[in-house]
Amino acid sequence: MNNTLIFGHKSPDTDTICSALVYADLKNALGEEAKPARLGDISSETQFALDYFGVTAPEYIEKVDEDVDNVILVDHNEFQQSVDNINDVRISEVIDHHKVSNFETKEPLYFRAEPVGCTATILNKIFKENEVIVSKENAGLMLSAIISDSLLLKSPTCTAEDREAAYELAEIAGVDLDTYGLEMLKAGADLSDKTALDLVTMDAKEFTMGDSKVQVAQVNAVDTNQIYASQDAIEKEIEKLINDNNLELFLFVATDILENDSDALALGQAKGNVEKAFDVKLDEHNRALLKGVVSRKKQIVTNLSEQF
């Protein structure tokens, strides 16, 4: 029997964790052996969803064991966001909704990326294509992933397909979409127990823009001022990350989930590119309000890349 491991990106978000769990369950239903895994800590938002639907988190792995035959990547494809020994494993499948970059295989594979707002939306289609019934738990996890990636259907990344899937899944999961969604987002936005290091690493992604290495970290908050009360400590952690990883830019994005705006902090040699990308001026604290910006993928990375 094939030994297959399914995992999402480092600094896992709710879509990454839920998609790994749900896709492994679907594979099992189809008679294929597959186990979910994760590459980092579970966020409080994700934990809320897991607890709500009574599902156990996937096992943490540092690297892929030698006895694993295949890995399936969900919710990412770029190798720098994946497991450290990604170059030594056989990738049999990718299910993703991001741009394709820094990815290659030696053999043909099943690679399915669609320009939708969430990996779980694609998984919901795959259930239908294979005529497998979606359980209450799987519906709850996929719904949570869509709510998380779309900030309750408000992000510009959210497509009609995501919206339709969300309403359909809420019905199966037996929850009211808005009530459950806001509760889950607030659980993730409860940052009271987070250290400055937690804040800058809990959802950070690295990108290569031009020849430069850039990290963009995003945290959701109900009150962004509360985050920046500890700006000094946050800056110290970011400066350390910039030095340790030779980053040209670290952009820290605090997103207000009620206002749907972001208060961003830019550090590093290339911080001027943030001003150009969003047509803003960084204030004396290196911060700027990005009006209506909530999507790292569609509003931040695309605009920022063009400046490098």
Residue ranges in contact with a copy of itself by CB under 8 A: 97-115, 297, 302, 305
CB of 218 to Mn ion, least distance (A): 12
* 96: contact with Mn ion by CB under 5 A: no
306 backbone φψ class: left, alpha, beta (φ>0; ψ -120 to 50): alpha
Decide which of Mn ion, a copy of itself, none touches 75; Cβ closer than 5 to 8 Å per partner kind.
Mn ion
CB of 298 to a copy of itself, least distance (A): 8
**DSSP of 164-215, one letter per residue?**
HHHHHHHHHHTS-HHHHHHHHHHHHH--TT--HHHHHHTTEEEEEETTEEEE
CB of 54 to a copy of itself, least distance (A): 32
Report d(CA 201, CA 186) in Å as an integer: 19
Q: Using the minimum distance from each CB to Mn ion, give the nearer residue, 25 or 75.
A: 75
Q: Using the minimum distance from each CB to a copy of itself, give the nearer residue, 262 or 295.
A: 295
CB of 300 to a copy of itself, least distance (A): 13
Instruction: Give ∠ CA 199-200-205 in degrees, rounded to 5.
Output: 125
Decide which of Mn ion, a copy of itself, none touches 194; Cβ closer than 5 to 8 Å per partner kind.
none
40 backbone φψ class: left, alpha, beta (φ>0; ψ -120 to 50): beta
Three-class secondary structure of residue 252 per DSSP: strand
The answer to whether 242 and 251 are in contact (CB under 8 A) is no
CB of 212 to Mn ion, least distance (A): 24
Instruction: Give ∠ CA 46-52-57 in degrees, rounded to 5.
Output: 45
Decide which of a copy of itself, Mn ion, none touches 99; Cβ closer than 5 to 8 Å per partner kind.
a copy of itself
Report d(CA 56, CA 38) in Å as an integer: 12
Q: Among residue numbers 12 through 51, which ones bind Mn ion (CB under 5 A)?
A: 15
CB of 75 to a copy of itself, least distance (A): 12
Out of 75, 78, 162, 248, name the contact with Mn ion by CB under 5 A.
Answer: 75
Burial degree of 196 (CB within 10 A; 0-12, 13-18, 19+):
middle
Q: Using the minimum distance from each CB to a copy of itself, give the nearer residue, 53 or 207.
A: 207
CB of 301 to a copy of itself, least distance (A): 9
CB atoms near residue 243 (< 10 Å): 9
Out of 78, 93, 149, 206, name the contact with Mn ion by CB under 5 A.
Answer: 149
Could you tell me which stretch among 84-92, 141-149, 229-237, 283-291 binds Mn ion (CB under 5 A)?
141-149
Three-class secondary structure of residue 299 per DSSP: helix
Q: Using the minimum distance from each CB to a copy of itself, give the nearer residue, 130 or 226.
A: 130
Decide which of Mn ion, a copy of itself, none touches 105; Cβ closer than 5 to 8 Å per partner kind.
a copy of itself
CA atoms within 13 A on the CB side of 194: 27
Site residues (vs Mn ion, CB under 5 A): 15, 75, 119, 149
